[in-house]
Each structure stands twice: as C-alpha cells, then as structure tokens.
Amino acid sequence: MLNRFSWLMASVFSFECYFVAYLYAGRFKGDERLSWLPVDLTAAFFLLSILAACWVLLKSRPLSKDILLPLALVLLFFVYVGVSIGWSPGHSYSVSKTSYLLTLTAWCVLAPLIVVSSDMHRLKRLLAYLLLFSIVSSIEAVIVYLKGVVGFLTIFGSNYLALGRTLGVGMAIAIALGYRYFCRKDFNSFSLWMGVAGVFVLLMLLSGGRGPTLSALISLVVFFAIILFSKRGFLVRNRWKSFYMAFSVLFVVGLIGILVVFSEEMFQTVFRIGVIFTQDDMGSSVAARVEHFGQALVRFSESPIWGKGIGGYAAANEGRAYPHNIILELLVETGLLGCVLFLVVLAVALRCILIEAVLRADWYVWAVLMILVQGIFNSMFSGDFNDNRMLFMPMSLCFVVYMIHKKIRISN
C-alpha cells in the first residue's frame, strides 16, 4: 500500500505531469471555473516544469553524449530564428513572438531531450498524461454536447480546433495501445482501447475541426502503411496483420454507416468538409488561407535568402497575422536558410522514429510517430510557430525514443 502511494505521489508531482499541464494550459485556462485563480496557468506550469526538470537533472546521471547532435540542431534553429529579429521591421509583435519562441516554444523541444531521454518510464508517463487529458476532454465534450450545443463543439473556454487536436493525440495513443494488446492476443484490452479511440474519432467528427480530423486520419494511414508493408514491423504473423486491417476497415465502414444514418448537420466536421467541395470559394476559412498563402509567397520573393525577420509577415500585413502554414511562415520570416534548418531537424527526427518503427515497433513508438504526423499536418493549415507546440514536442520525442533504444541495444 505504501509503495503504491509513493508511486502515485511520484507520478502526480512529476516533471511529466507539470510539462503536459504546461503544453495544454492554453486549452483549459480560459474555463470560467478557473477564473478565480490569480496566476496565468501557462506561466505557472512552465515554471513548475522547469523546477521539476532541475530536480530531475540534479538527481540523475550526466546527460548522454547522444543528446549533443539533436540539441545542437535544435539550438541552431532557435538561435537563428531569434537573431532574425535584428533585421525584422521592428514591429512590437516581433518582440513578443521572439520572447515566446525562445522560452515557451523552445522548452517544448528542450525539456524532453534533457529530461525524458534519461528514462523509458518517463516517456511512457508523458504519453499517459497526454492520454489522460484527452480522456478528460472527451468526458467534458460529451457533457457539453448533451446540453444541446449547436455548431462547433468547444470545451474549457477554448476553441474547436484545440479540442480536435487534443482528441487526435489521444486517438493516436489509444490506437497504439490497442495494437499492442492485439499483438499479445489480449482482445479484451484491445477492444477497450479501440473503443476509446472510436469515441475520440466520433467527438472529432462532432467538433467541427476539419484540420485535426484529417490529420488524425492521415496519421492512421501512415501507421497502417508501415505495419502492413514494412519487412519487419511488429513481430507478428501476417494473418494477424490482415485481421487487424480487416477490423480497421470494418471500423471505418461502421463510422461511415453512422454518418449515413444521421444527417450530416449533426456531424459538424463532415458538414464543413463538404463545404470545400460544394461551394465555389470552398468556404470562407479555406478562402482566407488561400489568400494568406498567396501573400506569403509574395513576401518571400522580396527577401528569399534571409527572410524579413521574425514577425515580418505580421508587420507587412498589419497586426498579428501569419500565413497559417509553418513552411511559408519560415520562408517569409527566416528565408531559405531558416526553412532548411527546420527541415533538417524534422528530417533527422523522422529518420530516428521511422528506424525505431521498423526495428523495435513498441506501442510508444507508434504513438510518437502518429502524434508527429498530426503535428506536421496541422501546422500546414493553422497556427504560427508558437501555436504549434504539439509539432515541436513530438519532434523532440523522436530523438528521445531513438536515444533510449540505443541505450537498450548497447546494454544487450
């Protein structure tokens, strides 16, 4: 009993708990039930996660040398983007964007590298907290929906995109866990996690977030492609893979059947996806993004090598504007040099996680890979640098998985 209590306290007051709370603080701090708190929750959990990280580092062994390459690449990118403020137009937004980038956003990459990479249990605990927040969000979403919500489904004072992204992360982890138990022939646990994933998908269809829903589906396509067509994948027989694929197809067909039975207006996301194909301008949201993309290409052509400096797009377009595409944003504000630096970090991260997906395809490998795919796709259509922390965090986890597995291979 005492050991369980100690484990519970260690989990609740852990770095991973504070770090996930920091990652998601922007998605729940607007809740009216928390309005009495005298502090900004993002800042509070940011500081708590730093203090927890310092405590972990003081107690743990020195950092592995394997951290040097990814750390150098990440720091080079962030330093260059930060330095670009020197040739930005000097808009006040540039200063605030730089400060957020070099503190809040950079921490999403640095924290997993220096803390989570030290222990496999920390990685699994981090994913467990991400899943827990998705479950809590789904419960809140069901309660709100049953009250008779009309239009977009939102919770905790946030928006529908935040809900969709949260549920997408939970879906990725639940699917990974489901496949883990499927390979162990534990069909009770498999059914449980597939059911949880199904609830997440259903709520995404109700929420109205097209981008998060499509990104979740794309991450599933990547997952299935690797387990079905890689030479090794999971060490299971092909018949089990075939059965799982057949079950998954039936799962998708069942969802489509539900959509046919109920009107599309019930499923706000399906309705909004239909708008893209039924309206000449594909809807005001898509039309606005197309306009931003065009403007970004024009601004990029004005300074293609070095870019206009961080915040340069906003200065040229008056206000907190951004292209709603992280690649175009990088091209405009940091030029080809900054974009190449980012793509190098992303490519190395993808290489690390794909290697592990083939050599040692444990459930947390699939979870990190699917979360990263979702982050990449979401960043192509919404948010700026600092809004896409759930792209930078899984990029860091790719390095973490590779370093942890390398230690295991060496020890064996």
Q: How high is the pLDDT of residue 347?
A: 94
> Could you tell me if residue 348 is inside a domain?
yes
Distance of CA 302 to the CA centre of its chain: 32
Low-confidence ranges of the chain (pLDDT < 50): 1-2, 5-7, 233-237, 260, 280-281
Q: How high is the pLDDT of residue 394?
A: 94
Distance of CA 87 to the CA centre of its chain: 31
Domain ranges, residue 91: 14-411
pTM (two decimals): 0.88
> Could you tell me if residue 121 is inside a domain?
yes
Q: How high is the pLDDT of residue 314?
A: 75
The total number of structural domains in the chain stands at: 1
Q: How high is the pLDDT of residue 257?
A: 56
Do 94 and 329 touch, CB atoms closer than 8 A?
no
> Could you tell me if residue 163 is inside a domain?
yes
Q: How high is the pLDDT of residue 212?
A: 87
Dist CA 70 CA 349 (whole Å): 8
Angle 68-83/389-411 helices, nearest 10 degrees? Answer: 160
> Could you tell me if residue 394 is inside a domain?
yes
Q: How high is the pLDDT of residue 5?
A: 45
**DSSP symbol at 236:** S
384-398 pLDDT per residue, tens:
888 888 999 999 999
Burial group, residue 262, by CB count within 10 angstroms (0-12, 13-18, 19+):
exposed
> Could you tell me if residue 297 is inside a domain?
yes
239-297 pLDDT per residue, tens:
555 566 556 656 655 665 565 455 555 555 555 555 555 554 455 566 667 777 777 78
> Could you tell me if residue 4 is inside a domain?
no
Strands (E) located in 48-140: none
Dist CA 75 CA 113 (whole Å): 12
> Could you tell me if residue 2 is inside a domain?
no
> Could you tell me if residue 390 is inside a domain?
yes
